[in-house]
Amino acid sequence: MRRIIWWLRAVLVLLLITFFSYVLPQHDIARVTRVSEIRTDFSAFNRIFYAQADSGNVDGTTRDIRLIESQRMRSYLFGLIRAGSEQVMVYRNEDTGWIWPPYFKFDSGNLQAEAGDLVSTSAAPRWVAVRHYGWRIPFLTIYPNATAIWPVAGPDVRIIPWFNIMFFLFLAVAWGFLRAVWRQFRQRTVDPALTRVDQTWDGIEAGVTTQKGRIGRWLDTWRSKRR
């Protein structure tokens, strides 16, 4: 039984890690090679990995997606380990709107203009930092959503993920607080109620065994004393 609970917890942790690795912002050091727009039709498989139409527009089944094509400095483990080589990366540039994920990004048009201004070649690279969320899975044709882009000094710049650090600290505090709330609730409300139920039940049981009718007492004379 304990093993099953352990496995359930492990699966839950894995799901959370997957969820947060999609939604939380990450930073890439890259050089923008091109900005473009493509017409995209969504299928049932990849629809969830795209946002909705730009804020203020009608949401259809097909629309033009802004793309930012780049050469990214290859890195692993959320940017902690750097490989030093370049890797192709294509970002999309969509409004997230008011609902999900809570980036409240409405300026994808402006962001596209900024990215277009930062286009460079491998001969004369202009390195930028791209803040994005989401995954690049060519098999499903999904792209991470770029939320901000700004020039940096070179390809070796290290960006510290302040927001993620604060976010996980807040989660830890919230988890501790929830545990305190639950413990208080159990100690002050549940346990006394259970004790009252126990006492009532004990009273009932005692009453059943002591209050016997005449037939019960006659039957007892036939039973052995070891009761």
* DSSP string for 165-215: HHHHHHHHHHHHHHHHHHHHHIIIIIHHHHHHHHHHHHHHHHHHHH---HH
Instruction: Give the residue, chosen from 148, 152, 155, 167, that forms a contact with another protein under the rule CB under 8 A.
Output: 148
Residue 103 in contact with another protein, rule: CB under 8 A: yes
Q: How far apart are CA 27 and CA 23, in angstroms?
A: 13
Instruction: Give the residue, chosen from 74, 107, 119, 120, that forms a contact with another protein under the rule CB under 8 A.
Output: 107
**Which residues 6+ apart lie within 8 Å of 127 measured at CB?**
29, 30, 31, 151, 152, 153, 154, 155, 157
CA angle in degrees (0–180, nearest 5) for 123-129-134: 120
Q: How far apart are CA 70 and CA 91, in angstroms?
A: 8
Residue 16 in contact with another protein, rule: CB under 8 A: no
Residue 106 in contact with another protein, rule: CB under 8 A: yes
Instruction: Give the residue, chosen from 1, 3, 76, 98, that forms a contact with another protein under the rule CB under 8 A.
Output: 98
How many other CB atoms sit within 10 Å of the CB of residue 62? 9
Ranges of H-type helices in the chain: 2-23, 108-117, 162-185, 191-210, 214-222
Q: Binding segment for another protein among 11-19, 77-85, 176-184, 200-208 (CB under 8 A)?
A: 176-184
Q: Provide, rounded to whole angstroms, the least separation between the CB of residue 94 and another protein.
A: 13
Backbone angle region of 184, left / alpha / beta, with phi > 0 → left and psi within -120 to 50 → alpha: alpha
Q: Provide, rounded to whole angstroms, the least separation between the CB of residue 176 and another protein.
A: 13
Q: Provide, rounded to whole angstroms, the least separation between the CB of residue 139 and another protein.
A: 29
* Bond preceding residue 144 cis, omega within 30 of 0: no
Residue 105 in contact with another protein, rule: CB under 8 A: yes
Residue 36 in contact with another protein, rule: CB under 8 A: no
Name which of residues 177 to 196 contact another protein (CB under 8 A): 180-181, 184-185, 188-189
Q: Provide, rounded to whole angstroms, the least separation between the CB of residue 181 and another protein.
A: 5
Nearer to another protein among residue 54 and residue 75 (C-beta): 54
Instruction: Give the residue, chosen from 70, 93, 145, 147, that forms a contact with another protein under the rule CB under 8 A.
Output: 147
Residue 104 in contact with another protein, rule: CB under 8 A: yes
Q: Which residues bind to another protein, rule: CB under 8 A?
A: 97-99, 102-107, 110, 147-148, 150, 180-181, 184-185, 188-189
